[in-house]
Amino acid sequence: MKVWLAGPGAAAVVCVALSSVLFIALYPPFNFWPLAFVATAPFAWLANRHSRDGSYATLVLSGTAFGWIASLGIVGHWMFLAAHEYFENSALSATALTVVITGINVAVYYAPLLPLAAILARLGVLARIAGFASLWTALEYLRANLWGGNPWALLGHAFYREVALIQAAAFGGVWILTWVAAATGAALASIVADTSSRRERQVALVVAAALPLLLFSYGKLSLSVFPHSIAGQGSLKVGIVQANIGKKDLWREGLRGRHLDKQIKMSRSPVLRAADLIVWPENSVPLLLNANLQVIGRLQSLANELEASLIVGAERSENTDSGHLRRFVSAFLFTPGETEYHVYDKAMMLPYIEIRPAWLSRLSEDQWSPNYSRGGAATVFEVKGWRIAPLICFDIVYPGIVSKAGDLTPDVFLNISNDSWFDHGAGPEQHFLAAVFRAIEQRRPLVRVANSGISGVIDGRGAIIRRLPSRRAVVELVEVKKFLGDRSTTDAGRRAGVLSCAAALLALGAALWSHTGVRLS
């Protein structure tokens, strides 16, 4: 092993390959979440190895290569298929789009990781571990927030199905989980690093064992307390209509009436007879709904007939003062007995699809160029005494957007989506996992309704209590219970920013400390 890793280039290649494979294995469809505790170890080991030889060019290339390879392994498959099959680009153009977008949105953020980590590796073992974890967390936070942000497949997301391990996210979002996982990997690297003394290896071993145990113990304690905060004051019965109208069928002019009829028929299912609220997915009415009075009348009549509120996804338009037409992706609420509908406009457009830069229009061969407008303020819909915060598709990926809706003190969050454009691969599951973290950050239940899945219910603990089968037309009545905890103590969406800034400062302080020659162990 030492012979193979003798050269800096060979060591870098092995570590990049190993970390990339470990990261790809963390997320859907694989979900090997225990690997999150070791996934950063090869990089921390590489930083330790190069802490004094000044080979920063190799380290920059290694970090960039990791970001590119790992992101292509996690999202490349479904991104390529979406570009090639859904948006009808050639295989070459779809490949170019996938490579360029993953480079811009992911790879560049990992370029400074290893050079900075190599500086931190000059410290004593505890400062080295904390500095590495803080650096990793800070760079992921930048990736999630700069230039629109890309908070997709963060390290802490790997734990989304492990309810006990994710309870700490109620305090500081996914960043706490990311920090613990990165620190554990750094501790493991220190155990096997040639530069570590015997005492440092012993300290690192204790840290590597203690951090996951503390995370799990905190989660079990939190879960033991949480049920006492759930109020037994009735429930909201929500009818989920998952029509499974895939790919471009939804938008074909000659089929729109048939799709509307199908969803009206599904809404009349005896299964939904007791529903207080019936929900259709994003784009379930694929037209400018505010301009189509006939369809509005049919939807209002359906709400009156079923004696249940109805939420549907559709587009709407409005004229600006300058005479330009603005288009929005919206959720419409129709209430029995009322003549006016209520609207929420999507806040976060899907990058490169719903908002497209000029360079991408030149690179892409498809004709999709809607450039929708972002919505304004968060909204709460009132349904039978329940306050419902609607969120559309990509809104759910961003903690800050959900926090703004949480300021309106909703009883439940509702996420409608149309994930049929990444019909193959793990894209829908990777999108769904974001909803788990928004529910636990806000300590509120969340209902998700998607055209082809994944639809389901997540409670305020982040537990997936109901999940409908994907890629099937199905209706189901789900029951949502109210949680009356004090949100002011659980709004992790805002504290996450503070904690991540603290992580960045800790990493910076550790880097400066490294130049003093003081070793803290």
Kindly report the pTM of this predicted structure. Answer: 0.90
pLDDT at 55: 73
pLDDT bracket for residue 364 (50, 70, 90): low
- For residue 64, pLDDT beyond 90: yes
pLDDT in tens, 429-480: 999 999 999 999 998 999 999 999 899 999 999 999 999 999 899 999 999 9
CA distance 5 to 362: 44
With cut-offs at 50, 70 and 90, classify the pLDDT of residue 229. very low
Instruction: Out of 130-139, 142-151, 165-174, 491-500, pick the least confident.
Output: 491-500
Secondary-structure percent of the chain, ordered helix, strand, coil, rounded to 5: 55, 15, 30
Name residue 370's amino acid: P
Q: What pLDDT does residue 85 have?
A: 80
Average of per-residue pLDDT across 201-218:
96
Q: How is residue 469 annotated by DSSP?
A: P
Using the predicted structure, report yes or no on whether residue 352 has a pLDDT greater than 60: yes
- Given a cut of 80, is residue 406 above it in pLDDT? yes
With a CB cutoff of 8 Å and minimum separation 6, the contacts of 271 are 239, 475, 476, 477
Residue of higher predicted confidence among 224 and 314? 314
Residue 7 has pLDDT above 70, yes or no: no
Helix axes 174-192, 125-145, angle to 10 degrees: 140
Tell me what pLDDT residue 232 has.
53
Residues linked to residue 318 through DSSP beta bridges, in sequence order: 326
Cβ atoms of 138 and 500 closer than 8 Å: yes
Pairing of strands 285-288, 325-334: unpaired
Average pLDDT over residues 4-24: 82
pLDDT single digits (tens) 146-196: 887 889 999 999 999 999 999 999 888 899 999 999 999 999 999 998 777
**What would the two tokens of residue 59 be?**
């380290």
Question: From CA 519, how far away is CA 521, in angstroms rounded?
Answer: 6
